[in-house]
Each structure stands twice: as structure tokens, then as C-alpha cells.
């Protein structure tokens, strides 16, 4: 169990796990089973998996998945955890567990795209309506809440455009209306802020559910897909857990092991990704072809004040902001120039996802991703960078050479002012 006197970094290293006699070692064992044997028919009838008092079948949990669930509860400040095979599966399982025909779900317009897609193409077939709201306008959220609204998704910041919403105000509003909130907490990852204790004073205000793509920072390798659904309310957990069981969702023991192996280094990696991302973001912001920097730790970025209120105390006062940011390129540059820039990068690979050791870059056409317009994001192509663990000077050099090749303008290197 979590020791509240200890830092999360320590909690991720020291497991509550009980090792077999004389085999206490850094990693817990990897237990694999579909079938679990019972001592007798009577034992079979008595054993319970729902409250984790016993093991009955591999799909219902193993000692390995239980340890991982405990670690993730420590990370997010949660009481209960469910493991699912991807971050997207966390999203869909929460929706299927908590919504019924006739219900409405509200999703921010800048949310992770497949969340909107799932609502549009799957939930709609079950008679569940989804409505998009402006993530930066609490009044828009308020106006769209109806008696049929049963679930509100939140994401801080938005996946590609990086606007940081007023999470506290959104959660307060939903609390007043008794609407369940679920946060996609992949970016914050349990390190930037506490999703179940947004006021950081003991849990008086928090989201109801946190969905986390463990694929990103908890895995850290770009080689595992997994997700988690954490809660602090047993009844809410049970509703999702029963749906999860009936859908037949589970994770492989080897994948659970990989995440367990990566968790102890997660806080260090997060800090390193964050520091490099801020250095690169500051350098890119100085280029004349960049019309806007979308990184919530920088003054002037959409939602900077909200980021500051929630995340600036983390990481010993450095603030926490992950390794992800975007820039908007001046619309005078053609798509071909932006493609050339991305293609000319040698260290940044072109690829989806983030949280791994290799830096990634992807250009996005924001207009086609939004129903309600670009909001606070200026006109131009959005290029998103996911900063890996390479030496930051090498990444800077790589950006500079690709920039000159694509945009035929010199790379500016004025001194960089610190952010936060």
C-alpha cells in the first residue's frame, strides 16, 4: 500500500509485493495462467475474484497484474485499478461501462481523436449520443450539460493542440450537476498533478475516473500497448469492472512485466523528456516561420494560466509538462515545405504515440480534426513533436539542419529564456 509520507518516485520502486521465501529481488515474478487449480469443488465454489480475495481464472487477474494495479493506484492516487490492452481500450471500456441507450456523453473538441471516433461510430449504434464542447470555455460545457448527460470526458492538455483547460472549474461544474467525470490522464501520467485531488489538499475535488494510456510514459519503450482505468469509488469501479469482465478484456503477463520494469524509472524519464521538450520548444518559438507555440508551460500558450495553477508545483517547483508540444507554421509555407522539414529530420522519426526513447514528429491538419473550429490555435499547419531521450543538443542540431533545408531561412539562435 502507498505510504503518503513518501515521494511517488520511491513508491514506484518499493513494491508491497511479497516475494517467495529467500527470493526477494527487484522485480516481482511473472505469473501466467488461464486455468487456476482449486483444492476442491468446495474451494472452487467459495473463491471470489471480484474483491481480489482469491484467484479463479487468468482473465480475472493474476498476482502479476495485481501488483501492477497496486503500483498504478500509487501513481495516480487511486484506490482501484483495471488493466486493459491499450489506452483506447481504457476509453471504450469506461464508456461501455457507464453509458446506456438514451444517455449523452460530452467530449472536448480537442480530445484524443479515436475517443471522438469511438463515440461517433460505436456508441451511436447503441443509442448513446455524443456532444462536443469547447475545452477552453466552461460556459460552453455548462450550456451543453443536459439531464441526459451521464459522462463528461476531460483531457489536459488536448492531444495535438495542447490547450490546457480549467480542469478544476470543469470538475466543480460536473460535481454540482452530479455528472461523472473521466480524465484522459496520459499526459499528466500521475506526475504532473493528482487527478483525484486537484486542489492538492486531500481529495476534496477530483475526477471520478482516470483513463491512462500506459503505452506512453509508464511503458517508456515504445514497445508495449496497455491502458489503465483508476477510480477512488468502489461502486463506480465495480460497474466498470463487471463490464470489463463481460467483454473478456485482459492483459498479457509479459506486457504487465514490461510496465512493472519501467515504472521505477518513469519519474526520471518524465523529467528528462520535459526538460528537453522545453529547450526545443523555446528554440522553435524563435523561428520566424513559427506563428504560435503550443506548449502549456510557456506564457502566451493557450491555457498557460490553468497549467500553472495545476502543474507548476510538481517536479520540485520546476513544473511538469511532459515531452510533448506543437508549433503552428506560418500559412505562407506550403504543405510540401512542412513535409520536407519532417522528412529531413534525422533523429526525429515520423510516427504516432509518444513516451518512448526516440523523438517523433507528425504534421496535422487541425481544421479536419475539429468540429467547432480552431479555437485559440492560429492558422497554419500544426507540427507536433514528441521529444525522446536523445541528447538535447543533437536534437537542436537536427531541427536546425532540417529547418534550413525546408524553409530556406536561417535558424535563429537567440539566447533562450527559461519557461515556467
Ligand X SMILES: *Cc1c(COP(=O)(O)O)cnc(C)c1O
Give the residue with the Cβ less far from ligand X, 218 or 264: 218
Q: Are 390 and 347 in contact (CB under 8 A)?
A: yes
Q: Can you tell me whether residue 124 is helix, strand or coil?
A: helix
- Compare residues 112 and 164 and give the one whose CB is closer to ligand X: 112
Is 161 one of the binding residues for ligand X (CB under 6 A)?
Answer: no
Q: Does 213 bind ligand X (CB under 6 A)?
A: yes
**88 touching ligand X, by CB under 6 A:** yes
CB-wise, 333 or 385, nearer to ligand X? 385
Q: 382: part of which helix (H) or strand (E)?
A: strand 381-386
Any residues with CB less than 8 A from the CB of 29 and at least 6 apart, and which? 19, 20, 63, 64
> Considering only 82-90, 118-126, 168-176, 403-411, which stretch makes contact with ligand X by CB under 6 A?
82-90
Joined together, the cell numbers standing for residue 378 give 492560429
Q: Sort strands 360-364 and 349-350 into parallel, antiparallel or unpaired.
A: parallel
Give the nearest distance from C-beta 54 to ligand X in angstroms.
Answer: 30
Question: Helix, strand, or coil here: 93?
Answer: helix
Shortest distance (Å) from residue 115 CB to ligand X: 7
Does position 186 interact with ligand X (CB under 6 A)? The reply is yes
**Binding span for ligand X by CB under 6 A among 143-151, 212-220, 236-244, 251-259:** 212-220
Q: Does 276 bind ligand X (CB under 6 A)?
A: no
DSSP string, 339-381: HHHHHH-SSSEE-S--SSSS-EEEEE-GGGG-SS--TTPPSSE
206 is an interface residue for ligand X by CB under 6 A: no
- Write the DSSP string, 131-167: EEE-TT-HHHHHHH--TTEEEEEEESS-TTT-PPP-H
- Our finding on whether 184 is near ligand X (CB under 6 A) is yes
Q: Which of 252, 245, 247 lies closest to 49 in space, CA to CA?
A: 245
Site for ligand X contains 159 (CB under 6 A): yes
Contact 69, 81 (CB under 8 A): yes
Q: Does 73 bind ligand X (CB under 6 A)?
A: no
- Contact string 320-349 vs ligand X (x = CB under 6 A): ------------------------------
What string marks each residue from 111 to 140 as x (binds ligand X by CB under 6 A) or -? Answer: -x----------------------------
Q: 3-class DSSP state for residue 91?
A: helix
| Closest approach of ligand X to the CB of residue 221, in Å | 13
Residue nearest to ligand X (CB): 87
> DSSP for 280-331?
HHHHHHTSTTEEEEE-TTSTTSTTHHHHHHHHTTTTTTT---TTEEEEEE-T
> By CB under 6 A, is residue 219 in contact with ligand X?
no
Query: CB of 182: closest distance to ligand X in angstroms?
Result: 11
**One residue of 181, 215, 262, 276 binding ligand X per CB under 6 A:** 215
Stretch that binds ligand X, among 86-94, 142-150, 246-254, 267-275 (CB under 6 A): 86-94
Q: Is the Cβ of residue 91 or residue 136 nearer to ligand X in the bound state?
A: 91
Residue with smaller CB distance to ligand X, 87 or 303? 87
Q: Is 225 in the site for ligand X (CB under 6 A)?
A: yes
Report the alpha-carbon distance of residue 3 to residue 41 in Å, rounded. Answer: 39
Only segment of 81-89, 161-169, 283-291, 412-420 that touches ligand X (CB under 6 A): 81-89
Q: Which residues contact 274 (CB under 8 A, 6 or more apart)?
A: 315, 318, 320, 321, 322, 323
| DSSP letter string, 32-84 | --SB---SSHHHHHH--STTSSS--BGGG--HHHHHHHHHHHHHHT-SEEEEE
Which residues 95-114 are close enough to bind ligand X by CB under 6 A? 112
Residue 353 interacts with ligand X (CB under 6 A): yes or no = yes
The three grid cell numbers given for residue 247, joined into one nine-digit string:
467483454
* Site size with ligand X, rule: CB under 6 A: 13
Whole-angstrom Cα Rg for the chain: 22
Residues lying near ligand X in the complex (CB under 6 A): 86-88, 112, 159, 184, 186, 213, 215-216, 225, 227, 353
Amino acid at each position: 500500500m502507498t505510504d503518503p509520507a513518501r515521494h511517488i518516485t520511491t513508491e514506484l520502486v518499493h513494491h508491497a509485493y511479497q516475494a517467495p521465501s529467500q527470493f526477494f529481488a527487484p522485480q516481482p515474478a511473472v505469473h501466467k495462467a488461464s486455468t487456476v487449480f482449486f483444492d476442491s469443488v468446495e474451494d472452487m465454489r467459495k473463491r471470489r475474484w471480484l474483491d481480489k480475495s482469491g484467484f479463479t481464472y487468468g482473465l480475472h487477474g493474476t498476482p502479476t497484474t495485481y501488483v501492477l494495479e497496486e503500483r498504478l493506484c500509487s501513481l495516480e492516487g487511486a484506490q482501484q485499478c483495471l488493466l486493459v490492452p491499450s489506452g483506447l481500450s481504457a476509453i471504450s471500456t469506461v464508456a461501455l461501462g457507464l453509458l446506456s441507450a438514451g444517455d449523452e456523453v460530452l467530449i472536448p473538441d480537442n480530445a484524443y481523436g479515436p475517443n471522438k471516433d469511438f463515440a461517433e461510430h460505436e456508441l451511436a449504434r447503441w443509442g448513446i449520443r455524443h456532444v462536443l464542447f469547447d475545452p477552453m470555455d466552461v460556459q460552453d460545457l455548462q450550456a451543453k450539460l443536459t439531464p441526459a448527460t451521464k459522462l463528461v470526458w476531460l483531457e489536459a492538455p488536448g492531444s495535438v493542440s495542447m490547450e490546457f483547460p480549467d480542469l478544476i472549474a470543469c470538475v466543480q461544474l460536473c460535481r454540482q450537476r452530479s455528472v461523472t467525470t473521466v480524465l484522459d490522464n496520459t499526459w499528466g501520467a500521475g506526475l504532473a498533478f493528482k487527478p483525484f485531488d486537484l486542489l492538492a489538499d486531500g481529495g476534496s475535488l477530483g475526477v471520478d475516473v482516470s483513463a491512462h494510456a500506459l503505452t506512453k510514459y509508464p511503458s517508456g519503450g515504445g514497445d508495449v500497448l496497455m491502458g489503465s482505468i483508476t477510480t477512488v469509488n468502489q461502486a463506480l469501479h465495480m460497474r466498470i469492472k463487471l463490464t470489463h469482465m463481460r467483454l473478456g478484456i485482459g492483459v498479457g503477463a509479459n506486457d504487465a512485466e514490461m510496465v512493472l520494469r519501467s515504472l521505477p524509472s518513469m519519474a526520471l524519464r518524465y523529467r528528462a523528456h520535459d526538460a528537453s521538450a522545453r529547450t526545443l520548444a523555446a528554440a522553435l518559438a524563435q523561428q520566424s516561420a513559427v506563428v504560435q507555440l503550443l506548449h502549456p508551460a510557456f506564457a502566451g500558450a493557450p491555457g498557460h494560466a490553468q497549467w500553472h495553477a495545476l502543474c507548476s508545483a510538481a517536479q520540485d517547483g520546476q513544473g511538469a509538462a511532459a515531452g510533448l508540444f506543437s508549433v503552428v507554421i506560418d500559412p505562407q509555407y506550403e504543405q510540401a515545405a512542412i513535409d520536407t522539414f519532417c522528412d529531413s529530420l534525422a533523429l526525429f522519426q515520423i510516427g504516432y504515440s509518444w513516451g518512448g526513447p526516440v523523438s517523433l514528429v507528425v504534421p496535422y491538419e487541425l481544421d479536419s480534426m475539429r468540429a467547432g473550429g480552431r479555437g485559440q490555435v492560429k492558422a497554419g499547419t500544426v507540427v507536433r513533436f514528441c521529444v525522446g531521450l536523445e541528447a538535447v543538443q543533437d536534437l537542436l542540431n537536427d531541427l536546425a539542419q532540417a529547418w534550413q533545408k525546408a524553409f530556406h531561412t536561417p535558424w535563429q539562435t537567440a539566447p533562450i529564456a527559461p519557461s515556467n
